[in-house]
Chain A
Amino acid sequence: AQTVTQSQPEMSVQEAETVTLSCTYDTSESDYYLFWYKQPPSRQMILVIRQEAYKQQNATENRFSVNFQKAAKSFSLKISDSQLGDAAMYFCAYRSNTGNQFYFGTGTSLTVIP
């Protein structure tokens, strides 16, 4: 079974600074999707960014970008110009293109320091 590992249970960043959240995954498949989700204290999960494994170009969404290293099975999230509203739990998720399951990591709790 695929596994998703987030090795940083907690991270903190100064407001306006940049932070990188790590995610690694284990798979034998070549085609899949990777996601980063944000879960603020209100608990509603919000999609941050999505990456298709067949695309070599790293996905970006405004201040959020990923560093996708397919050979290393690594999918880190970079948040630039951190804002107070970025404080949340961040979950990395994997989805096979052939199977049906989504696998989530255990999450990284991000604190933004004013």
Chain B
Amino acid sequence: EAGVAQSPRYKIIEKRQSVAFWCNPISGHATLYWYQQILGQGPKLLIQFQNNGVVDDSQLPKDRFSAERLKGVDSTLKIQPAKLEDSAVYLCASSLDQGLAQFFGPGTRLTVL
């Protein structure tokens, strides 16, 4: 069974630029999560999708972050414009359904200069 795929693995941008991350969850997984993990901290949930609908985006900085999962499969997370404090690893995870164990992708390490 293929795992959660994410791309790119690394990204370096300058502040005020835009960036997008892509995630392809495990086939058949209805729930998809985006987390932000700042160095030395635990992951913080940014947004959770159930199929193509948003379940929770209460911690997503909506003035600069956006995410979509149009067909209920893969998802993109965008930051526009980026700030220095957005430097982090962005983790995507999926689960068969809400409440069940999540499977994580390898993450995208973003550095904002």
Interfacial residues, chain A to chain B (CB-CB below 8 A): 4, 33, 35, 37, 42-47, 50, 91, 93, 95, 97, 99-102, 104-107
Contacts and interface: CB of A to CB of B under 8 A. Distances in A.
Contact of A44 (B40, B42, B56, B104): B104
Contact of B104 (A4, A33, A46): A46
B106 to A, nearest CB: 5
Given A45-B91, A45-B93, A107-B42, A102 B103 contact: no
A104 B55 CA distance: 18
Interface stretch (B21-29, B62-70, B76-84, B94-102): B94-102
Contacts of B19: none
List the 7 closest pairs (A to B, CB-CB), nearest first. Answer: A104-B42, A45-B104, A100-B56, A47-B101, A44-B106, A100-B55, A104-B43
B43 A50 contact: no
B104 A100 contact: no
Contact of A33 (B58, B99, B105): B99
Contacts of A102: 33, 43, 45, 102
A99 to B, nearest CB: 8
A95 B98 CA distance: 10
Contacts of B103: 47
A67 B8 CA distance: 39
21 contacts: A4-B42, A33-B99, A42-B106, A43-B89, A44-B105, A44-B107, A45-B43, A45-B93, A45-B104, A50-B101, A91-B42, A97-B99, A100-B55, A100-B56, A100-B98, A102-B43, A102-B45, A102-B102, A104-B42, A106-B40, A107-B42
